[in-house]
Structure 1
Amino acid sequence: MSTDCLFCRIIDGDAPAEKVYEDDDVIAFRDIFPAAPTHCLIIPRKHINTLNDADESDTQVLGKLMLTASRLAKEAGIGESGYRVAMNCNRGAGQSVFHIHLHLLGGRQMKWPPG
């Protein structure tokens, strides 16, 4: 855990979040600046700054992020109509909180390229 990390503070209960799922490995909560009707962030409890900092020991939790996104999409009723999952890595890609997180977006038509 990193005491200066917003997401670590959410995990510890020291910062507010509208949680939609949590288990021993991951937490999911609504994005405070949603880019779609459904926009959740799914984070590992383990602090990993960026995807570049993950290693083989993180394989299971990285997979769990994806499976949690699928589960939440189905629960939100967007599993069949379609949804997007995205992870930004570093500032140039738009990462603003340096604790890896997967965005789950849906409930509207997604465009490509996302850009």
Structure 2
Amino acid sequence: MTNDFYCDYVLNHKIEVEKVYETENVLAYYHTRPSYKVHIVVIPKKHIPSLTDIHPDDKWILTELMNIIQKVAAKVEQDFGACRVITNLGDYQESKHLHWHIVSGERF
């Protein structure tokens, strides 16, 4: 196993997730261990280690990711009044797969 929960479990269907939005290249789903009342994760289906590791040939995926993040965040903001969009890097990034958290409410 690698240190990539998303490739190892989510994208390999070893764990069931509740999907929020999905395209051919991007998946948004409710976090399996939420830290907030609303906690959604958005990932590319292609393995990219982090925001700072995107290869120039893969920059196109940022457009699709941002479009999905924008749609999901707009819905969370509409439903709950506010949200945060977070990505972590380096030691803050537990799973080495590019991902964003869309969260709302107090942290548990």
- What's the TM-score bracket when you normalise by the shorter of the two chains? 0.7 to 0.9
Matched positions, count: 104
Relative to its length, the structure with more strand (as a share) is 2
Query: Quick one: higher RCO (CA 8 Å, sep 6+), 1 or 2?
Result: 2
Who is 1:97 aligned against?
A: 95
The alpha-carbon distance between structure 1 residues 84 and 99, as it changes in their structure 2 partners (threshold 3 A), is same
CA distance in 2 between counterparts of 1:45 and 1:79 reads 27
Q: Is the 8 A contact 1:6 1:15 kept in 2?
A: no
> After superposition, where does 1:66-77 map in structure 2 within 5 Å?
66-76=66-76
Q: Is the 8 A contact 1:21 1:29 kept in 2?
A: yes
Name the TM-score, length of structure 2 as normaliser.
0.80
Identity %, equivalent residues: 28
Shift of 1:109: 6.8
Q: 3-state SS of the aligned residue for 2:62? A: helix
For structure 2, list consecutive stretches of 5 or more residues without a partner in the other structure: none
Do structure 1's residue 6 and structure 2's residue 5 form an aligned pair? yes
* Aligned-pair Cα RMSD in Å: 2.2
Q: Is the 8 A contact 1:19 1:28 kept in 2?
A: yes
Who is 1:113 aligned against?
A: none
Name the TM-score, length of structure 1 as normaliser.
0.75
CA distance in 2 between counterparts of 1:17 and 1:27 reads 10
